[in-house]
Amino acid sequence: MKKFNKMESNLICDSLDYYVAHLEAEIKALEEKGRPCIFAPGFYPMIKDELVNKIKKDMTKKDKWQ
């Protein structure tokens, strides 16, 4: 399996941060309207943290200088 370089890894992680922030805002807006949401607040950040750890630890090339 080909691993991501640092730039690709950071781009994916930043994209996840942006997307999760958007999803959390949608969940908050639904709750303010009194509509229930399938996912509780905090669910997406938890999943994002696991994905970021997996990307940074297992799917990113290691620096040759370290």
Q: Which amino acid is at 25?
A: A
Prediction pTM value: 0.83
pLDDT of residue 66: 59
> Is 1 domain-assigned?
no
> Is 43 domain-assigned?
yes
pLDDT of residue 64: 75
In angstroms, rounded to a whole number, what is the distance separating the alpha carbons of residues 41 and 26?
10
- Domain count along the chain: 1
In this prediction, residues 5-23 reach a mean pLDDT of: 96
> Is 33 domain-assigned?
yes
> Is 51 domain-assigned?
yes
Q: Residue 49 is part of which domain span? A: 6-58
